[in-house]
Amino acid sequence: MAPDKDAGTPRVFLARHGQTEWTIDGRWTGSTADIPLTQFGESQISSSAGRLVGPGKLIEPEDLAAIFVSPMQRARKTYDMMFEPATREKLLGKVDFTADLVEWGYGDYEGLRTAEIKQLRGQRGLNAKDFDIFKHGCEGGESPEQVTERVDKLIIKIRELHAPNMHGENKACNVLLVAHGHILRAFTRRWLGYSIDFPLSAMLEPGGIGILSYQHHNIEEPAFLLGMALP
């Protein structure tokens, strides 16, 4: 079997936390509602981790140079469940529980469903029909510019880590992010060099794993892995 010529290119793994009660209800869960995973949400993480995380698997602990985790309990629990206790102990010095990955601050929209948000905006004379958080932000919460600022800070840190290792010079150069749906989609847009309101329709299911990397081993060509071969 021919070797994977891109295997040495640094990668960023995106891990979304598992299901919560508000996920089931379709309620927007931002930076103020710190609610736990459901039992099913925990099973989602166990299932994904069992298949994708561990020695010889997609997310190889020894290949991680840094792990950035939202400090919200649903993200912290997801991180804890992704790795065995002994592995977490070894990774401790690489983990940063950072506010840069807290979910988008929904402000007045916290706990509401999308239909309720549109109704509220209509009552306030704001664009309702075409509401898009990546364009309009949230009343009383964060604007797209504020979210852009914090994910860009994180991208700069990661690029500085990756730049000397574009050809696998240091095997341990991958990065893991454990966070939330909207903030990870915002991160993806900015990783690819698009404005945060770029119409990129992207999905990341609760408990899901996504992958970002680079084309041609080039730090100036960030990309997402649409598909990859597994040995």
Tens-digit pLDDT profile for residues 19-36: 999 999 999 999 888 999
- Strand (E) or helix (H) holding 110: none
User: Cα 103 to chain center, whole Å?
Assistant: 10
- Helix, coil or strand: residue 80: helix
Pairing outcome for strands 95-97 and 64-69: parallel
Give the pLDDT of residue 8.
81
Where do we find the tokens 């852009």? Answer: 148
What angle is formed at CA 27 by the lines to CA 152 and CA 144, rounded to 5 degrees?
25
CA atoms within 13 A on the CB side of 66: 16
Q: Please, what is the angle between helix 181-191 and helix 144-162, to 10°?
A: 60
What angle is formed at CA 19 by the lines to CA 95 and CA 188, rounded to 5 degrees?
55
Give CATH superfamily name and number for 12-224: Phosphoglycerate mutase-like (3.40.50.1240)
Domain locations in the chain as residue ranges: 12-224
Where do we find the tokens 């909207």? Answer: 182
Residues classed as catalytic? 17, 103
Q: Residue 227's pLDDT band (boundaries 50, 70, 90)?
A: confident
pLDDT tens-digit map of 166-207 = 998 887 999 999 999 999 999 999 999 999 999 999 999 999
pLDDT tens-digit map of 84-110 = 999 999 999 999 999 999 999 999 999
Three-state SS for 119-131 is HHHHHCCCCCCCC
- According to DSSP, residue 104 is labeled P
Q: Are 101 and 155 in contact (CB under 8 A)?
A: no
pLDDT tens-digit map of 119-131 = 999 999 999 999 9
| Torsion angles phi and psi, residue 27, rounded to 5 | -90, 140
Which range is least confidently modeled, 101-110, 149-158, 219-228?
Answer: 219-228
The C-alpha atoms of residue 117 and residue 136 are separated, in whole angstroms, by: 12
Tokens of 45: 């993480």
Tokens of 146: 């504020």
Of the candidates 130, 207, 141, 168, the one whose C-alpha atom is nearest the C-alpha of residue 7 is 168
Tokens of 3: 């070797």
CA atoms within 13 A on the CB side of 73: 8
15 beta partners: 178, 209
